[in-house]
Amino acid sequence: MVGCLLNNSRGRTGAIDDQQHDPARATSLQDVENTRRLLSEEMSWASDQVELWMSECVQDENVDPDLASWPTVLHKRLRVTRPQQRYTAQRRVTERVSKMTGVRARGRGRIRGRQQSASGSGRRAHTMVPTSTNPGRPQDDLPEDDTTPKARSAGAKRFAADFGENTSQGSDSPSKRSRSTTSRGSRTSSPSKPNILRSLQHPIRNKSLDGTNLPNHARQLVRQVRRFAAGFETVPQELRASLEETYTEDLDLTQNVVYTPDSERAKLGNDLAIREVACICRQARGCQQRNENEAAWNSHVHGPILSLVGELSCHRSQIGSTNVTTARLNPRFKPAIELTQPPLSGKVIDFVFFLEPSVVIERAFGDLPWETNHGHDFNHTLYGPIANRPIAISMETKREGEGQATGRAQLEIWVAAHFNRLQEIICDGAEELPILPLLLTQGPVWSLLFADRQREGQAWVTIIYEKVTLGDVTTPSGVFKVVSSLLLLMHWAQTDFRLWFERMCTASAA
């Protein structure tokens, strides 16, 4: 740990060997280790966060490197942890850190530093006041709503950094992006967070999407999705000539892309109109040129596409979609590492497709156990608007060029909780769970993953199969590919998933 902190604190400006010539700095580093140890003892339920907090104190250029300012930073961190434990832990940590570093804590917020005589520089430590937080909401956990257009929290930046993502917001210049990449290098090298996903009670593992390693009930779905993603049977026959004349640079439109009234695509729903295709392409190109954030992509591109597909689908009255960025995972279903450890913090996603309730589903809804302060719910969330509408397909969106690993991790945690909920609904533990489609977008590019839960020995394992690139909606051919694929997924939700879910509801009532 000491070596790691040396690396982080000195790696930006000088050689590590210089530390041995600075007795005051060596003493500070020993205090760092002592502080880390006592924090781990006081907060054993968050030892991994302690390591990260202490590391951040060293890395953050806005934090005074002298230990006199660190209790203040720890105050800020402790005030946004678990409400039932934060006050006791805050008081104990403040008292013990104050004794160790000679810093006196006054009140709940302000910490005043003493003169640092050891360094001989005559410099006083910074006086820092923790920012106010909402005590009812733990903000420094893995962020639940990093899809909002607000500035990203420290927790959101750490989550992205752990998965190797750029944590900057807005349209940064190349030089700024370069500096950001350099400054976060020490944090992104640690594999600890990805390893957590493989160390859960129900581990999450990734596999390539190969037709030979898929469950039998999913192979036909994947095969048809790949046909649409390749462009086959995605364009109405009567529109081909007009599209080729209008979009001469979209060479994919010159391939074997048309479908006839008796094709599989025609059975899924109505045709796209040229004006609808042009509108989607125009909005996507505008977001791309303006380097828009995630919220803008959701409101201008992704949301309208889902609404359009819902109207085109022949299952428009049975399958719906909605934005769920304000939803929260039910703590009972969050992935857990060990029985003695708290569950992994939940991550929200952006959109879901759900089943409209049938008579069977409505009857089963009333028989569900009551969730405290929430009520009945078919899903793994605490989101009332779709509590009686089972989620079938989940979707996460990211801005262009950023967040692929973070978005994938969000989907993995989300779908692991989803499987936990479905397994609770099943009466017969031997019943096979359905494969669940997962949509991931980066700007205009749409991709499809599949999640499956399988038994390996005595443990259940969540397998993520990656991936099929559906299309780029800045091009007309890409719009046709994406829309055709979404119509197919809605058909799967109405047929395969609904039949499975209603069968489970009936078995539970028996």
Identify whether 142 is part of a domain. no
Q: How many CB atoms neighbour CB 21 within 10 A?
A: 8
Q: For the residues 249-258, what does the mean pLDDT come to? A: 90
Q: Domain check: are 247 and 325 in the same one? A: yes
Q: How many CB atoms neighbour CB 198 within 10 A?
A: 12
Q: Domain check: are 295 and 385 in the same one? A: yes
Identify whether 489 is part of a domain. yes
- Residue 3, pLDDT > 50, answer no
Segment 261-302, tens digit of pLDDT: 999 999 999 999 999 999 999 999 999 999 999 999 999 999
Report whether 224 contacts 234 (CB < 8 A). no
Q: For the residues 346-352, what does the mean pLDDT come to? A: 85
Identify whether 220 is part of a domain. yes
Please tell me the chain's helix, strand, coil percentages from 3-state DSSP, rounded to the nearest 5.
50, 15, 35
Residue 286 contacts by C-beta under 8 Å, 6 or more apart in sequence?
292, 300
Report whether 410 contacts 347 (CB < 8 A). yes
What total of structural domains would you count in the chain? 2
- Residue 55, pLDDT > 70, answer no
- Residue 498, pLDDT > 70, answer yes
End-to-end CA distance of the chain: 57
- Residue 133, pLDDT > 90, answer no
Q: Domain check: are 219 and 115 in the same one? A: no
Percent of the chain with pLDDT over 70: 57
- Residue 65, pLDDT > 90, answer no
pLDDT of residue 234: 96
Distance CA 330, CA 339 (A): 17
Identify whether 163 is part of a domain. no
Segment 416-449, tens digit of pLDDT: 999 999 998 886 665 789 999 999 999 999 999 9
Domain coverage including residue 233: 200-509
Q: Domain check: are 323 and 457 in the same one? A: yes
Q: For the residues 37-51, what does the mean pLDDT come to? A: 54
Report whether 352 contacts 381 (CB < 8 A). no
Q: Domain check: are 427 and 340 in the same one? A: yes
Residue 441's beta-bridge partner residues? 397, 446
Q: Which residue has the tokens 């910490």?
A: 111
Distance CA 398, CA 412 (A): 15
Lowest-confidence segment of 298-307, 330-339, 464-473 by average pLDDT: 330-339
Lowest-confidence segment of 74-83, 479-488, 491-500 by average pLDDT: 74-83
Identify whether 83 is part of a domain. yes
Q: Domain check: are 252 and 362 in the same one? A: yes
Q: Domain check: are 266 and 410 in the same one? A: yes
Which among 78, 113, 130 is the end of a domain?
130
- Residue 414, pLDDT > 90, answer yes
Q: Are strands 258-259 and 235-236 parallel, antiparallel or unpaired?
A: parallel
DSSP string, 372-413: TTTB--SSSB--GGGTTS-EEEEEEEE-TTS-HHHHHHHHHH
Q: What is the largest CA-CA distance in the chain?
A: 86
Stronger pLDDT, 34 or 2, i.e. the higher one: 34
Long-range contacts of 381-384 (CB under 8 A, 24+ apart): 381/324, 381/327, 381/328, 381/329, 381/330, 382/327, 382/328, 382/329, 382/330, 383/324, 383/326, 383/327, 383/328
- Residue 304, pLDDT > 60, answer yes
Segment 178-212, tens digit of pLDDT: 434 433 433 333 333 555 666 566 788 889 887 66
This prediction's pTM: 0.65
Identify whether 190 is part of a domain. no
Identify whether 171 is part of a domain. no
What's the whole-number average pLDDT of the chain?
Answer: 74
Q: Domain check: are 220 and 107 in the same one? A: no
Distance CA 415, CA 405 (A): 15
Which among 83, 108, 130 is the end of a domain?
130
pLDDT of residue 502: 94
Q: Domain check: are 79 and 227 in the same one? A: no
Lowest-confidence segment of 29-43, 378-392, 419-433 by average pLDDT: 29-43
Which among 130, 157, 179 is the end of a domain?
130
Q: Domain check: are 443 and 305 in the same one? A: yes
Residue 396's beta-bridge partner residues? 440
Identify whether 308 is part of a domain. yes
Q: Domain check: are 353 and 500 in the same one? A: yes
Q: Domain check: are 370 and 467 in the same one? A: yes
